[in-house]
Amino acid sequence: MQQPSFDIIVVGGGHAGSEAAAAAARMGARTLLITMSLEAIGRMSCNPAIGGIGKGQIAREIDALGGLMGRATDEAGLQFRMLNRSKGPAVWSPRAQCDRFMYAASVRRMLEAEPNLYMRADQAVDLLSDGDRIAGVKTQLGVDITARAVILTSGTFMNGQIHIGERSYGGGRMGEGPSKGLTGALHRLGLESGRLKTGTPPRLDGRTINYGVLEEQKGDAEPVPFSFMTDRLPERQLSCWITYTDQEVHDILRTGFDRSPMFVGRIQGTGPRYCPSIEDKIDRFADKDRHQLFLEPEGWNTDEVYVNGFSTSLPEEVQMEAIRRVPGLESVHMLRPGYAIEYDYFPPYQLRYSLETKAVRGLFFAGQINGTTGYEEAGAQGLVAGVNAVRYLNEAEPMILKRSEAYIGVLIDDLVAKGTEEPYRMFTSRAEYRMMLRQDNADERLTGKAFDLGLVGEDRLRRTEERLAARRSLLSSLHQVSLTPDQVNPFLEELGSAPVRQTDRIAKVALRPEVSLGDLLRRTNNLALIPSLPGLERVEEMVETDLKYEGYVAREQEMIQKMGQLEDLRLPDRIDYRAIQNITMEAREKLDRIRPQNLGQASRISGVSPSDVSVLMVMVRSGRFPSLAG
């Protein structure tokens, strides 16, 4: 059976697939989203939270580019916190616990609102190609669906294998089967695959938790939304709860080690070092006598609870016995045990910056298939792949975000330039231009670009402009309006800050680390200087950041300019790296495999030394380098 043809097919309806399909459809492409289960669209398979450190910044960027994640989070959020408030605005990171049912419903509704977007419950089992171009997919229901571009967002489904103790079976998520066939199809098209592992903790019945003995963690009193378009957030918030394991819990867990699929070697895939299972934690950090656990509600209307920090694939009875030793969980009922899952991924050095595979024109990858972990990382790639699939169809230049423009740029550059051998997640320390890439200015950085691409409408663009204008207006007022010692010294004294001796601009007083701009304006009767701002954020907070970071941002700008010289030096596709005698063997191999697009990318590949980069620079500048035949 032959189905009507589409411009773009998106395989998978998770966070990557949803963003990809929405972006492509919004840009005008006739888009089909194929998912094994329509009910699973936008599902939070692991923790019921969006954002976090490094990840919250990505979620804000997705929103600034017109993506779904921010709006769905604001709608479904049941607890909002700005993490790292005490650590400096560059690393302030929004995080929200979500009602995962509402989240999925919100995503589904936004997809249905896209007129160019169609959905189909089915499974892609093979790929159609025409020479080195993708031509569509073949489905489990026996249909060939043609399209000029295909975006694969297979998550943990490709050859997914679930492990719990000595039990092991094929599955993409608990209760859902694996997808078979695509890995083979991709091998035939010349792509290499690898195997990764991730895990998830047990889910508990909240009615059987003794909350009375637990430490409560409330949301922020003044919650900040994820979307730049949000004017209201839910008025009530739910709390999370904190408890701890102890030696006794660890001892019980150890009794299951001989049946742990990780320790006995049944799991081959590499897991994330920064998100270890509880058995990994007590094995590797034996001297630590307790580990923190967060009990997170899964929704407004359910008692299901997620046990953050207790990811495990030990036998179910060991999980059960151990968790019942944890304070507050003595008589808990487990709704579902934790498990580990292994799945196929395709090392991302096989990608271009557009997320198109180098081997097959028109075939794009996004999300866990590229070796990442996390909803935000997946959503970001989905959005980029969706945009670039459309750009590919239109024979237009791809949208490539620079490392200096967005965390999304850092993410994709890291993947493409270095590849990854363990599930990749974002950290703020990965971003060398962290002072500039803040969650509060994602709109300023990206929304103009999104408007030009057709991802967002004028309403959003106007809003970005208004925010920017408010910011500039306050900043210039602060540089114009002065404070006399009499006006400001009482306030400074209270803070234990040295008094000023002469009249100074507000901007200068506000530079002091201990001075909060909002308080300063309030105490000196200058609140009238603060322009009104659409949304729930405070312009004085943003401007305070602008002021205090000025010097650091200037240094980052200098660095960007310097790196730019390497980024601008394109490496021709035809360089035969294996024939360059003057670089190390390791560099020859890696450059040949990764085939970087410019010298900046080459310089970030591990194993490529500065001297190798210099040799390349000399060769490319002089035009003298060995070329591949043909």
Question: Which residues sit at the interface with another protein, rule CB under 8 A?
Answer: 52-54, 83-84, 86-91, 274, 291-292, 427-429, 432, 434-435, 512-514, 549, 552, 555, 561-566, 581-583, 603-604, 609-615, 617-619, 621-624
How would you write 324-367 as a 3-class SS string?
CCCCCCCCCCEEECCEEEEEEECCHHHECCCCEECCCECEEECH
When the beta carbons of 229 and 515 are compared against another protein, the nearer one is 515
CB of 88 to another protein, least distance (A): 3
Map 273-316 to HEC letters: CCCCCHHHHHHHCCCCCCCEEEEEECCCCCCEEEEECCCCCCCH
- As measured in angstroms, the least distance from the Cβ of 83 to another protein is 6
Q: Which residue, 418, 412, 425, is CA-closest to 53?
A: 425
Distance CA(538)–CA(547), nearest Å, equals 15
Minimal distance in Å, beta carbon 565 to another protein? 4
Q: How many residues does the chain have?
A: 630
* Distance of closest approach, residue 562 Cβ to another protein, in angstroms: 4
The residue with tokens 């997620």 is 306
DSSP 91-131: G-EEEEEE-HHHHHHHHHHHHHT-TTEEEEE--EEEEEEET
Q: How far apart are CA 508 and CA 530, in angstroms?
A: 17
Cβ proximity to another protein: between 506 and 515 the closer is 515
Q: Cα(541)–Cα(75) distance, rounded to whole angstroms?
A: 24
In the complex, what is the shortest distance from the CB of residue 86 to another protein, in angstroms, rounded to a whole number? Answer: 8
Residue type, 415: L
Give the DSSP letter of residue 65: T
Q: What angle do CA 64, 218, 434 make, to 5 degrees?
A: 35
Q: Nearer Cβ to another protein, position 396 or 618?
A: 618
Reduced DSSP (H G I as helix, E B as strand, rest coil) percent helix, strand, coil of the chain, to 5: 40, 20, 40
Of the two residues 113 and 618, which places its CB atom closer to another protein in the complex?
618
Question: CB under 8 Å to 186, separation ≥6 — which residues?
Answer: 127, 193, 346
**3-state SS, residue 473:** helix
Beta carbon of residue 428, minimum distance to another protein (angstroms, whole number): 6
Q: What ranges make up the beta strands (E) of 400-465? A: none
Cβ at position 563, least distance to another protein in Å: 7
Of the candidates 499, 389, 362, which has an alpha carbon nearest to the alpha carbon of residue 16?
A: 389
Smallest gap from Cβ 168 to another protein, in A, equals 30
Q: How far apart are CA 244 and CA 291, in angstroms?
A: 5
Are 240 and 294 in contact, with CB atoms under 8 Å apart?
yes
**Residue 141 identity (one-letter amino acid):** L
Least distance from C-beta 328 to another protein, angstroms? 17
Q: DSSP label at 427?
A: -
Spatial separation of the C-alpha atoms in residues 229 and 71, rounded to whole Å: 8
| Residue closer to another protein, measured from CB, 226 or 294 | 294
**Structure token pair of residue 95:** 């995080």
Q: In the bound complex, what is the minimum distance in angstroms from residue 243's beta carbon to another protein?
A: 12
Of residues 72, 79, 71, the one with CA closest to residue 95: 79
Q: Which is nearer to another protein, 275 or 369 (CB)?
A: 275
Beta carbon of residue 343, minimum distance to another protein (angstroms, whole number): 25
Q: Select 204 or 620, whichever has its Cβ closest to another protein.
A: 620
Q: How far apart are CB 274 and another protein at their closest, in Å?
A: 8
Residue with Cβ nearer another protein (210 or 565): 565
Decide whether 11 or 305 has the Cβ nearer to another protein: 305
Give the contacts of 396 (CB within 8 A, at least 6 positions apart).
none
Interior/surface letters 418-455, b for 16+ CB within 10 angstroms, e for the rest: bbbebbbbbebebbebbbbbbbbbbbbbbbbbbbebeb
Tell the smallest beta-carbon distance from residue 423 to another protein (Å): 16
Q: Least separation, in Å, of the C-beta of 512 and another protein?
A: 7
User: 162 vs 615, which CB is nearer to another protein?
Assistant: 615
CB closer to another protein, 49 vs 65:
49
| CB nearer to another protein: pick between 170 and 564 | 564
332 vs 417, which CB is nearer to another protein?
Answer: 417
Task: Please say which residue, 6 or 226, places its beta carbon nearer to another protein.
Answer: 226
